[in-house]
Amino acid sequence: MPELQRLRPDHAPALLAFEQENRAYFAASVPDRGDAYFDGFEARHAALLAEQETGACHFHVLVGGDGEIFGRVNLVDVADGSADLGYRIARKAARQGLATSAVEKVCLLAASEYGLTSLRASTTQDNPGSQAVLARTGFVPAGDIELDGRPGVAYTRDLTALRARAGAVSGRRYSA
C-alpha cells in the first residue's frame, strides 16, 4: 500500500504526473484545475510548501515504492482548531480502500500532530465515492450546500475523542 507522506519539494515531478494523468478523470467529479495550474506547476508547488511552513495547511501524498504518486489528502484553511479536508485518488488505484485509509491517517495526524479538534469536508450529492469515504471515516452530514453550482453536502468530524486517544497513547501534552 502506498505510504502517506507530508508534501515535500522533491514530490513535484511525481505530483505533476499524477495530476496530468488523472486530469480528465478528476474533472468528471470536481472542477478542472485549469491550464494555468499545469503551466505554473513548479512555482505553485513552491508557494504551497511555503504556505505549509506557516501552519495554514498540511498537504499529504500517497507514494508508491518507486516514487509514483497515487493520491493526495490535504488540510487547508487551518484556523481555530479546524481545517477543510480534500482528497483525490488516481483512477488506476480506485476502489482499493486508499482514500478511506489515507483520510483516517490524516484525521489521526490532525488530532495528534496538528492539534486540531475538528475537520470540515464537503462533496456533491452525485459523488457517492466521496460520500462513502466520509461516512466510513467518521464524518457526519452538517447540512445541504451548493458546491460549484451543484447540490452538495457539508460534513464535519469531531476529533476530540481521537485527540484524547492519541494523547493517551503517546503521552503527549497539548497546550490547547
Which parts of this chain interact with ligand COA (CB under 6 A)? Answer: 26, 29-30, 87-89, 94-100, 123, 127-130, 132-133
Least gap, CB of 84 to ligand COA (angstroms): 10
Q: Which residue is nearest to ligand COA (CB)?
A: 129
Cell numbers found for residue 11: 514530490
Least gap, CB of 69 to ligand COA (angstroms): 12
Least gap, CB of 143 to ligand COA (angstroms): 16
Least gap, CB of 93 to ligand COA (angstroms): 6
Residue from 106, 109, 72 nearest 88 by CA: 72
55 or 97, CB closer to ligand COA?
Answer: 97
24 or 161, CB closer to ligand COA?
Answer: 24
Least gap, CB of 30 to ligand COA (angstroms): 5
123 or 156, CB closer to ligand COA?
Answer: 123
CB proximity list for 51: less than 8 A, separation 6 or greater: 57
Residue from 119, 62, 117 nearest 86 by CA: 119
120-123 contact pairs (CB < 8 A, 24+): 120/82, 120/83, 120/84, 120/85, 120/154, 120/155, 120/156, 121/84, 121/85, 121/86, 121/154, 121/155, 121/156, 121/157, 122/84, 122/147, 122/152, 122/153, 122/154, 122/155, 123/147, 123/152, 123/153, 123/155
19 or 109, CB closer to ligand COA?
Answer: 19
32 or 39, CB closer to ligand COA?
Answer: 32
